[in-house]
Structure formats: C-alpha cells, structure tokens
Amino acid sequence: MNATIRPARPTDAPTIANLIRELAVYEKLEDQAKATADHLTRHLFGDRPAAEVILAELAGEPVGYALFFATFSTFRGQPGLFLEDLFVLPDHRGRGIGKALLVEVARIAVDRECGRLEWSVLDWNAPSIAFYRSQGAVPMDEWTIFRVADMALTELAGKNRR
C-alpha cells in the first residue's frame, strides 16, 4: 500500500460528499445520504467544526476516508473519539488502506489522550466486523443505540409545539 493519509481541506468537500454517497450505496442506505459539499464545508470546516476527516489517496486520487468526532466519557473522565465512517472504495480494498485509516484515527486518539475509540457497524457487515475484531475491537452487545431524528427531534426540542 502506497496510500497517503492526510487531513481533509475545505476544497475536499465535494470529494468527501462523493465518498459518502459511495458508502451509502455499499450500506444499502442510498435514500438516507443527503449530505452535500455545502453541508460538509459548513459543518466540517466552518467556525465550529462538528467532525474531522482524513483522506486516503493513491497517486493523488482519493480512495477512502475516515470521519470522526470528539466524545466524552463521564465514567472515565476522559475524551474519546467516535468513528462515524471508515470507507475504502471497493476496487482498493484488501491493500491495507482501511487499516491505515483506522491506525491514523487511533494515533490521533492517543495523541489527544482519549480513553477510547468507538464506532458502530451494521450487523450484516461480516467483512467489516471481522476486520474490526482482527484489530482488537470488541462489540458492545449490552448497549442499544437510540436515535431521535427529523420531525421527532424537532418535536422533542419543543420547536413544533403551538
């Protein structure tokens, strides 16, 4: 693997948006991929970045990315990182690029004195589950993820009440 791993720049927003769409296709969630380059520019590179992205490139061409953001563990009293996306284009898998991205995110976590690095994986994604286990990750079977989104989030915030 001769991939270069580097932090994303604002000019990478269209590339990141394309990679996110490719991930959505892989995960069979195309209908949920709404992110645009404008969204990403505003939320990744604006006044208050919500997340960070690193890109993997081969010969200057983007072939994968990792998107992550800070968390905090009250029990540990330490920050952590949550890996929202780790994706390598299908034609470039099996070359160590995914591992290089994961290692770089782990290095960032250690450099920032994080106590842990966490992520979610779809339960049908056996190749990714096997890969993550091979890297020392363990599933958190006793935890259930909850989500409030769209109109339910607006209603919970009291913004839709009259």
Q: Give whole-number Cα distances, 70 to 66, 73, 100, 115, 128, in Å.
A: 14, 10, 20, 11, 22
Q: 61 has which bridge partners?
A: 58
Q: Each residue of 111-140: pLDDT tens digit?
A: 999 999 999 999 999 999 999 999 999 999
pLDDT band at 1 (very low <50, low <70, confident <90, very high): low
pLDDT higher than threshold 90 for residue 159: no
161 has pLDDT over 80: no
CATH, range 4-156? 3.40.630.30
Q: Report domain extents, the chain.
A: 4-156
Active site residues: 132
Whole-prediction pTM: 0.92
Q: Minimal CA–CA distance to 127: which of 101, 102, 93, 85?
A: 93
